[in-house]
Amino acid sequence: MVEVRIHCRGGQGGVTAARIIGLASVREGKHALAFPSFTVERRGAPVMAFLRISENEILDRSFIYNPDYVLVFDSGLLTHPSVKVGVRESTLFLVNAKSRDEAEAIGVSRLVVVDALSIALEVLEVPIVNTAMCGAFAAASRLIGMEALAKAIREFLPARVADKNVEAALKAYWEVEAYGKNE
Amino acid sequence: MPVSRFIDGNAAAAYGVKLCRPDVVCAYPITPQTPIVEYIADFIARGEMASKYITIEGEHSAMMATVAAASTGVRTFTATSSQGLAYMQEGLFYAAGSRLPIVMAVVNRSMGPPWTILAGHDDAIAQRDTGWIQLYCGSGQEILDTVIQAYRVAEDERVLIPIMVCFEGFVTSHCYEQVIIPDQEEVDSFLPPYKPPYKLDVEDPMILTTFAPPIHWMGYKKKHDEAMEAARKVIAEAEAEYAERFGRSHGGLFQAYRCDDAEAVVLTMGSLASTTKVVINKLRELGFRLGLLKLKSFRPFPREELKQLLGNVKAVGVLERNYSVGGWGGAVFLELRSAFYKVADGPRILNFVAGMGGRDVTPLEIEAVAKKTLRAAQEGKGEREVEWLLGEIG
């Protein structure tokens, strides 16, 4: 079983990202559970989303305390105490940041950085980074394929924004895939 | 062909309701239940569901409109959470006392203050004595399957009692997972149209829920209780038939897991049972003889069945998301202990209060619960009868 923890702010689409990756995994024949942890319901508030992916039925419905992957949607959250809870040497961090220097301050052993904000602003013209982060996750983890991911994005998002979001995911995918994982 | 969808618990409830073809749906939105009524409104708007949808100004009215609709002999559905459930309490008595087979989804959220929108079973448990059947679910699939069974049970002439289908807010209501949506035809054959034994009808006028004089009032209450007693059998029957037709079983009144040779058993409801299963499997591998009892039906409380099943167990740890302030225990613990009153050599019963106000219950905490219960079984005593799982921060 693989456990993914997403740290984002309300409005960045972290909860939807967990669902999209979950659906893509299910389409590839796996089991998935995706659920949020809200504290307050408002934009900008720190939110966590949890995702479990497994070959078998998933029974553990508790929050994720020992993640295999940590996705940080907002570099401003890097100092949030919840981000490093339960992480191990093997935990891969995927961080949306302008530069690697900015993200490196967190001090983790495995780090992939992607400028998902620039991609979102360029492709979507709004600062919603979730689909770019999904694409980056596909490349960094190799847990899901881009094809299944694109389908999942189209299933979850309204048709009028689906194409652009697939484009954002693909761009982020290649940023990570082509420019090395920078680990 | 049944289809598998990746949906959340609220959608699972909505799909279940759609398959049951209710005539009237009337609900007022409240977090975390709101998506259920939104999904249903969408189904109706798209022409996939033929129900009459009544928009209304609050939960009290939602319940009373549902009571009125059900009184005319039609199938009804509503949904709520927490403060909304409390607000409709007068209507809850009205529905149950009128013996109307309403099905309501209750997305469990702790009662404020302190303010919260997150999980806890305390909202539904507080409505224990309203006379409703309460079934607690822990996964999207269980929610869908239970909604369908709930109509069968509620509408059975031996029962005629409204049912709350309960599941935890966010943890289950907003959890996306694979859910199998059965065929409409299969559901139609399991759940034929509702044939009410009594109804308000202008062609054949009668009065329902009229004044009962003192010589009759208690008799009605007694009959209600007898129907609740009968419901124990009907719930188990409906589950058995459903399992045969659809190939899925979540336990009718409860589900026992690895209890046969268990020295100690953890008893819990809803999604906690799912996580507890992982813990029991892990501890079994280490040689600890532990079992899990997932209690589904809190009302009717399966007193006799539990006494039989847990009679040979030395200790039971009741892990629950509710607490009776001043009663010194959670409701399930207090009732289980009462069930074993005067039973010689009954199990030692411990209570672990957890998971209210959205507090997560971790596998490590559940492991400690299981081990403490097993220790109580072997030593014949427990550290504390009621323990609060508060982690590091109170």
Question: What is the structure's pLDDT at B10?
Answer: 98
Task: Give the pLDDT band (50/70/90) at residue B392.
Answer: low
Rounded mean pLDDT, B301-326: 96
Question: What is the structure's pLDDT at B75?
Answer: 98
Task: Give the pLDDT band (50/70/90) at residue A182.
Answer: low
Q: Is B273's pLDDT higher than 60?
A: yes
Question: What is the structure's pLDDT at B105?
Answer: 98
Question: What is the structure's pLDDT at B328?
Answer: 94
Give buried/exposed letters for B5-36 (b at 16+ CB in 10 A, else e).
bbbbbbbbbbbbbbbbbbbbbbbbbbbbbbbb
**B4 vs chain A: nearest CA distance in angstroms?**
10
Question: What is the structure's pLDDT at B381?
Answer: 75
Domains of chain B: 3-246 (3.40.50.970), 255-388 (3.40.50.920)
Interchain pair A34, B275: CB under 8 A = no
Rounded mean pLDDT, B191-196: 97
**A18 vs chain B: nearest CA distance in angstroms?**
9
Question: What is the structure's pLDDT at B391?
Answer: 83
Question: What is the structure's pLDDT at A181?
Answer: 60
Lookup: tokens for B69: 């609709």
Interchain pair B274, A60: CB under 8 A = yes
Interface of A with B (CB under 8 A): 15, 18-19, 22-23, 26, 31-38, 41, 58-63, 65
Q: Is B135's pLDDT higher than 70?
A: yes
Interchain pair B117, A41: CB under 8 A = yes
Inter-chain contacts counted by CB atoms under 8 A, chains A and B? 63
Task: Give the pLDDT band (50/70/90) at residue B384.
Answer: confident
Question: What is the structure's pLDDT at A183?
Answer: 60
Task: Give the pLDDT band (50/70/90) at residue B210.
Answer: confident
CB A88 within 8 A of CB A23: no
Question: What is the structure's pLDDT at A178?
Answer: 85
Domains of chain A: 2-178 (3.40.920.10)
Question: What is the structure's pLDDT at A180?
Answer: 64
3-state secondary structure B305-369: HHHHHHCCCCEEEEEECCCECCCCECHHHHHHHHHCCCCCCCCEEEEEECCHHHCCCCHHHHHHH
- Give contacts of B363 with chain A, Cβ < 8 Å: 60, 62
Rounded mean pLDDT, A87-110: 93
Q: Is B79's pLDDT higher than 70?
A: yes
A42 vs B108: which has the higher pLDDT: B108
pLDDT digits (tens, 9 = 90+) for A143-171: 999 999 999 999 999 999 999 999 999 99
Rounded mean pLDDT, B307-324: 96
Interchain pair B176, A32: CB under 8 A = yes
Interchain pair A31, B362: CB under 8 A = no
- Give contacts of A63 with chain B, Cβ < 8 Å: 360, 362
Mean pLDDT of chain A: 94
Interface of B with A (CB under 8 A): 6, 8, 31, 117-118, 138, 170-172, 174-178, 271-272, 274-275, 277-278, 360-363
Interchain pair A33, B176: CB under 8 A = yes
B44 vs B391: which has the higher pLDDT: B44
- Give contacts of B277 with chain A, Cβ < 8 Å: 59
**A63 vs chain B: nearest CA distance in angstroms?**
7
pLDDT digits (tens, 9 = 90+) for A50-77: 999 999 999 999 999 999 999 999 999 9
Q: Is B265's pLDDT higher than 60?
A: yes
B185 Cβ neighbours under 8 A, 6+ residues apart: none
Among B176, B180, B281, B366, the strongest candidate for a mutation testing the A interface, having the largest count of A CBs within 10 A, is B176
d(CA B200, CA A157): 46
Closest to B299 measured CA to CA, from B270, B346, B335, B330: B335
Question: What is the structure's pLDDT at A114?
Answer: 96
**A65 vs chain B: nearest CA distance in angstroms?**
9
Mean pLDDT of chain B: 96
Rounded mean pLDDT, B289-301: 98
Q: At which residue do the structure tokens 């006494």 appear? A: B307
Rounded mean pLDDT, B242-254: 97
Q: Is B394's pLDDT higher than 60?
A: no
Task: Give the pLDDT band (50/70/90) at residue B383.
Answer: low
Give buried/exposed letters for B326-347 (b at 16+ CB in 10 A, else e).
eeebbbbbbbbbebbeeeeebb
